[in-house]
Chains A and B, each alone.
Chain A
Amino acid sequence: MTAGSPPPAFLSRQQIAALVARDIPDGACVNLGIGMPTRVARYLDVSRDIVLHSENGILGMGPPPPDGEEDADLVDAGKAPVTLVAGGAYVSHSDSFAIVRGGHLDIAILGAYQVSQAGDIANWSLGGAGIPAVGGAMDLTIGARQTWVMLTLEGTADRKKLVGACGYPLTASGAVDRIYTDLGVLVPANPGFAVIELPAGIEVADLQPFSEVPVTLAEELIRA
């Protein structure tokens, strides 16, 4: 980014969610983490059969029900009411985590405080005082065949999320396969990060202020 040039056009959270949804293939079994990742469900291609797993024991989780049709016995990992799609099933909590830990999920999609150039992820603790809490993040990141992270870079130049090594407590080491951001899609490239997709009007140099380590263009982009 040259001095005096306008800031890049950051994608919105909705646009990031749409990018992620676009890349989920037909037939995939996917867990969407709390926060930004839950938005992905709204953008899934309805012509694809995508099985959404919820850690509390649901396969085939569907969208929220119409107002007034909530069932207190049917909730997602964030305790919000959901539905079950045709083909869905319920499992016990330990079976749900056998699915997670046993490598049966194709993709786990989570938020993060930091991702390192080695694919380490920190997303459960900012350190310091307060109540610690972790949930299923550590299981998901080691168990899923792929781990995708969603995060926003805008405003983070002074507290970078793309790092050489995570300063916050780790969720897992070397787990992250892909990072979807408001300036494009990257992969940990150790060293550095490699950009595999740039939105229109964005250049690789636009991402560098938000990373502690070099960001380069990958040799093969998933979209030109």
Chain B
Amino acid sequence: MIDKQVAGLSEAVTGIAPGSTVLVSGFGDAGTPIELVEALVGGPGELTIVANNAGFGERGIAALIRERQVRKVICSFPRSPEQYWFERRYLNDEIELELLPQGTLSERIRAAGAGIGAFYTPTAAGTLLAEGKEQREIGGRTQVLEYALGAEVALIKGDQADRWGNLTYRKSARNYAPTMAMAAQRTIAQVREVVPLGQLDPEAIVTPGIFVDRVVVV
């Protein structure tokens, strides 16, 4: 019997080892699994966090950075007034940053989920963000070699789930979640509700449960 639902947040994040790479969905606060991320506070350290941004205010990823549990952030836009915890740790050389163009970040994660080892993209060709990376002429354009970016854990936020882990999403809260769900050894989803198996319209399921390991209602 497949039942991926767990009772609470601490059970949802159990077994995440120090040094893990953690994919965190969300764009701004939309679709960010704040409760799952904050369930890690006081827990494993030396984490590499992969997300669009580097945490806002005191919440989510920012809380982990504040508590010194993050050694590296891989993201696209870590600069804004609210990302002050990242700024403080970064300017103090306490945290490492790998900056990626937003599309490259997404496609590296997708490639990992899809079993693609590496790919070429025209994005960033001839710029600082291609320095140190192989570039090659393909189809008349200079393209940059990028490698798959997989992870031990993905923390994502969906709207509805069932016990097979099938997920729907809500509006632009979807963003990175379907891609990150594919690319982690263990995908943990927080959702608004879990419904009986068969109640989700198959046409509405965006992430099939095959990609999901644990589901918790928040």
Residues of A at the B interface (CB closer than 8 Å) are 54-58, 71-75, 79, 84, 90-94, 96-97, 100-101, 125, 130-139, 142-143, 169-173
Q: Which residue of B lies closest to A91 (CB)?
A: B174
Instruction: Say whether A134 contacts B86, CB under 8 Å.
Output: no
Q: Which residue of A lies closest to B182 (CB)?
A: A94
- B178: chain A residues at CB < 8 Å are 92, 94
Question: Lowest 8 CB-CB distances: which A-B pairs, in order?
Answer: A79-B28, A97-B103, A139-B103, A133-B79, A73-B173, A131-B79, A56-B27, A92-B178
- B122: chain A residues at CB < 8 Å are 101, 142-143
- A84: chain B residues at CB < 8 Å are 171
Instruction: Say whether B103 contacts A169, CB under 8 Å.
Output: no
Of the candidate stretches B1-9, B13-21, B37-45, B94-102, the one touching chain A is: B94-102
- B106: chain A residues at CB < 8 Å are 93-94, 96-97
- A79: chain B residues at CB < 8 Å are 27-30
Q: Tell me if B199 is interfacial: C-beta within 8 Å of chain A.
A: no
Most chain A C-beta atoms within 10 Å of own C-beta, residue among B30, B99, B141: B30
Q: Which residue of the partner chain, among B87, B101, B103, B172, contacts A74 with CB atoms under 8 Å?
A: B172
> Chain A at the B interface: mostly helix, strand, loop or mixed?
loop
Q: Indicate whether A57 sits within 8 Å of B79 (C-beta atoms), given known contacts A101-B123, A135-B102.
A: no
User: Whole-angstrom distance from the CB of A113 to the nearest CB of chain B?
Assistant: 14
Q: How far is the CA of A178 from the CA of B99 in the complex (A)?
A: 28
Most chain A C-beta atoms within 10 Å of own C-beta, residue among B52, B104, B110, B172: B172
Instruction: Say whether A169 contacts B128, CB under 8 Å.
Output: yes
Instruction: Say whether A101 contacts B172, CB under 8 Å.
Output: no
Q: Indicate whether A134 sits within 8 Å of B31 (C-beta atoms), given known contacts A56-B175, A101-B122.
A: no
User: Whole-angstrom distance from the CB of A85 to the nearest CB of chain B?
Assistant: 13
Q: How far is the CA of A108 from the CA of B124 in the complex (A)?
A: 16
Extra contacts besides A57-B27, A131-B97 (8): CB < 8 Å:
A54-B172, A55-B102, A56-B28, A75-B172, A84-B171, A92-B179, A94-B109, A138-B101
Instruction: Say whether A93 contacts B121, CB under 8 Å.
Output: no
Q: Which residue of A lies closest to B180 (CB)?
A: A93
Q: Which residue of the partner chain, among A73, A136, A169, contacts B101 with CB atoms under 8 Å?
A: A136
